[in-house]
Copies of this chain bind each other. A is one copy, B any other.
Amino acid sequence: MVRSQWDYEGDVIVVGSGAAAYSAAITCRSKGAEVIMVEKAALYGGTTLRSGGGFWIPNNRFQKERGIDDKKEDATRYMARYSFPHLYDPNDPHLGLPENEYNLISIYYDTASKAVKHLEDIGALKTIQEINWTGKPQVDYMEILPENKGIRGRLLYSLGADGKLAYGGELIRQLKSWADSHNIKVILNHRVNRIIRNQKGEVRGVGAIHKNENVRFGARKAVIFGSGGFTHNPELMLRFQRGPHFGGCAAPSNTGDFVYMAEASGAQLGNMAGAFRAEIVLEEALRDPGGVHNVFYVMGDSILEVNRYGLRFGDEKRNYNDRTMTHFIWDPLRAEWRNMLIFMVYDQRTATLWQGFPPLPVQGVPAPYVISGNTLDQLSLNIDARLASLAAKTGGFRLDSGFTENLKQTVARFNGFARTGIDLDFHRGEFNYDREWTTFPPTIPGTKWPPEDTKNYTMYPLSETGPYFAMILGAGTLDTNGGAIINDKAQVLDTENKPITGLYGAGNCIASPTANAYWGGGSTIGPAMTFGYIAGLNAVQEPVKEN
């Protein structure tokens, strides 16, 4: 497998260029290693570049400054309980989890704030804690759980040059700026497709394809994968995920290359049915699969989500990850996924007041994915006609014959809840998350909101008169989060639970310690950065390997 020359050689080769990859590369470089980053796409930054850019960091310095005591015992219980509800045992030393799953959560708590501090200390990152529109540090996504104890302030962001919170683009800009000025090469347009080992079986580099040519990258010490998930590989989605998805906002180059390399390298795979999920506007995802069409927030105060029966099926204000899990309900009387496609229904008031906040279009701008009708009857007919036109891509999914009548009753019932302030069915607005994260003032300035007499500002009656609007939503991902299994040194494990020497992973390409949960805002980038940092620390300590 070895020839005399590598096309490129460094101490550490990092595959990918999102948060996991940059965190790993910068950590290695800060410890003196020569680092080369290899990116498949024409653009650096991966999914992080197009993300909100937050990172969930328990026990961070901002919490301490505010006197918030984010104890390890509480944080690990929350993570374990949310990620593995059926295993959780508060009286077990590992909280009921398998040893490796517990260890990853434990080291995450121990290391996350250190990883951020290290990046700050070397000047690679400036951070800020998010304070939401109500003036408070953010709660977690499952603040409802008793184990969460309502703690606030774990969500950090990069700090922009204007002194304000900045998004994923700025996070990548800061990391790349440090990397560029510290001589970390980022080689774009190279699709890594194989892992190269030396005679001892140690990982010694990777092979990549560039313009149909094979290019070989030698790693004297280690290779770190931070190459993302498999959202954009329909076959892998079919073969591993828990139900139908219709795309996601991951970088279009996230086609799971590392899954195949892991399989070919004898690595164990884990959490393969897992993903960070958010609903997606079906027709936009079909039109433009590489774009960002997720519906993170069902914003405003009167949008309803209903299924093919015209029935609500949950609290529309729940976080995007758990909300999307409600799409995977098998209907044993019809042999179909009951909520595979659902319908976001709203009125003219909402279309006006929250216009421009995705997925609501700016009024007047053509938005063919918005279905309209002057009455709920007409809206229903138009939704079903739209579904009929999409049948070849949706398994022929259609509205139930009772949809229209149920929708009318659903609207009437919701309007009653809005007047009393109490959602007897799904408890909308009872939780801090509902009120602070996903319900926020109109995008139109000068609107007096919320109404002074509201009893629950997450609910406002839909208008008695049309027009009404709807969008078709399916399950989507931010990205999948299953892949090779790592240990608490971020080493990839083989089928005998031994590390594959010289091979590390972090981010959405590995079996995420989050499993099925989304611990809080930044639950994808937080672990990505942290395990990237852990991988980097350990990779630089590897001995130099023979060719």
Q: Is the CB of B92 within 8 A of A145?
A: no
* A250-269 interface code vs B (CB 8 A; 1 in, 0 out): 00000000001111111111
Whether A81 sits at the interface, judged by CB under 8 Å, is: yes
In the complex the two chains form, is B86's CB within 8 Å of A395's CB? Answer: yes
Interface 1/0 per residue, A318-331 and B, CB below 8 Å: 11001101101110
Cβ-defined contact, A85 with B241, below 8 A: no
Given contacts A85-B337, A272-B240, A395-B85, contact A98 B235 (CB under 8 A): yes
Tell me which residues from 293 to 327 in chain A have a Cβ below 8 Å from any Cβ of chain B: 314-315, 318-319, 322-323, 325-326
A340 and B86 contact, CB distance less than 8 A: yes
Q: Which of B238, B261, B335, B485 contacts A142 (CB 8 A)?
A: B335
Contact B273 A392 (CB under 8 A): no
Determine whether A332 belongs to the interface, using a CB cutoff of 8 Å to chain B: yes
Cα A73 to Cα B336 in complex, Å, equals 21
When chains A and B are docked, how far (Å) is the Cα of A242 from the Cα of B337? 14
| Cα A98 to Cα B236 with chains together (Å) | 11
| A260 neighbours in B (Cβ, 8 Å) | 268, 495
* A74 lies within 8 A of chain B by Cβ: no
Residues B269 and A239 in contact, CB atoms below 8 Å apart: yes
Contact with B along A364-392 (1 / 0, CB 8 A): 00000000000000000000000000011
A67 near B: Cβ within 8 Å? no
CB distance from A248 to the nearest CB of B (A): 16
Cβ B266 vs Cβ A264 within 8 A: yes
Docked pose: A313 CA to B84 CA in angstroms: 24
Q: Given the known inter-chain contacts A271-B239, A273-B272, please indicate yes or no for A332 contacting B325, CB distance below 8 A.
A: yes
Partner of A86, one of B101, B273, B337: B337
Report the Cα distance A91→B393, complex, angstroms: 11
**Distance in angstroms between the alpha carbons of A235 and B87 in the assembled complex:** 12
Which of B261, B263, B319, B335 makes the CB contact (< 8 A) with A82?
Answer: B335
* A315 cross-chain contacts in B, Cβ below 8 A: 332-333
Across the interface, which residues of B come within 8 angstroms of A314, CB to CB? 332-333
- Is the pair A89, B263 in contact by a Cβ cutoff of 8 Å? no
Option from B262, B264, B273, B495 in Cβ contact (under 8 Å) with A241 = B273
Q: A278 contacts the other chain (Cβ, under 8 Å)?
A: no
Inter-subunit contact B328/A238 (CB<8 Å): no
* A326/B330 contact (C-beta < 8 A), A242-B242, A271-B239, A273-B241 known: yes
**A118, CB-defined interface residue at 8 Å:** no
When the two chains form their complex, are residues A332 and B323 in contact, meaning their CB atoms are under 8 A apart?
A: yes
Contact A325 B333 (CB under 8 A): no
Q: Which residues of B contact A318 (CB under 8 A)?
A: 332-333
Q: Are B511 and A239 in contact (CB under 8 A)?
A: yes
In angstroms, how far is the closest chain B Cβ from the Cβ of A33?
A: 30
Complex partner residue of A264 from B234, B273, B495, CB under 8 angstroms: B495
Q: Given A264-B266, A335-B142, are A395 and B87 also a contact pair (CB < 8 Å)?
A: yes
Residues of B within 8 A of A242 (CB): 242-243, 273, 328
CB pair A426–B333 under 8 Å, yes or no, is: yes
Contact in complex: A330, B328 (CB < 8 Å): yes
- Which residues of chain B are near A427, meaning CB under 8 Å? 333
Residues of B within 8 A of A6 (CB): none
CB distance from A210 to the nearest CB of B (A): 19
Report the bound CA distance from A491 to B87 in whole Å.
37
Which residue in chain B gives the minimum CB-CB distance to A482?
B239
* A41: min CB distance to chain B, Å: 21
Contacts of A81 in B (CB 8 A): 335, 395
Whose C-beta in chain B lies nearest to the C-beta of A340?
A: B86
A140–chain B nearest beta-carbon distance, Å: 11
In the complex, what distance in Å separates the CA atom of A242 from the CA atom of B241? Answer: 8
How far in angstroms is the closest Cβ of chain B from A47? 23
Q: Shortest CB–CB separation between residue A468 and chain B, in angstroms?
A: 26
Q: Write out the residue numbers on chain B whose beta carbons fall within 8 Å of the beta carbon of A333.
A: 144, 314-315, 318, 426-427
Contact call B392/A91, Cβ cutoff below 8 A: yes
Q: A96 within 8 Å of B by Cβ?
A: yes
What chain B residues lie within 8 Å of A335 (beta carbons)? 81-82, 85, 142, 144-145, 322, 517
A242 to B84, CA, bound (A): 12
Q: Is A334 an interface residue (CB 8 A)?
A: yes
A392 B89 Cβ-Cβ under 8 A:
yes
What are 12 pairs between A and B in contact, CB < 8 Å?
A: A82-B335, A86-B243, A86-B336, A86-B397, A89-B392, A98-B234, A240-B269, A242-B242, A242-B243, A262-B263, A263-B495, A272-B272
Question: What are the 7 closest A-B residue pairs judged by CB atoms, nearest first?
Answer: A322-B332, A86-B244, A325-B330, A239-B270, A260-B495, A242-B242, A264-B266
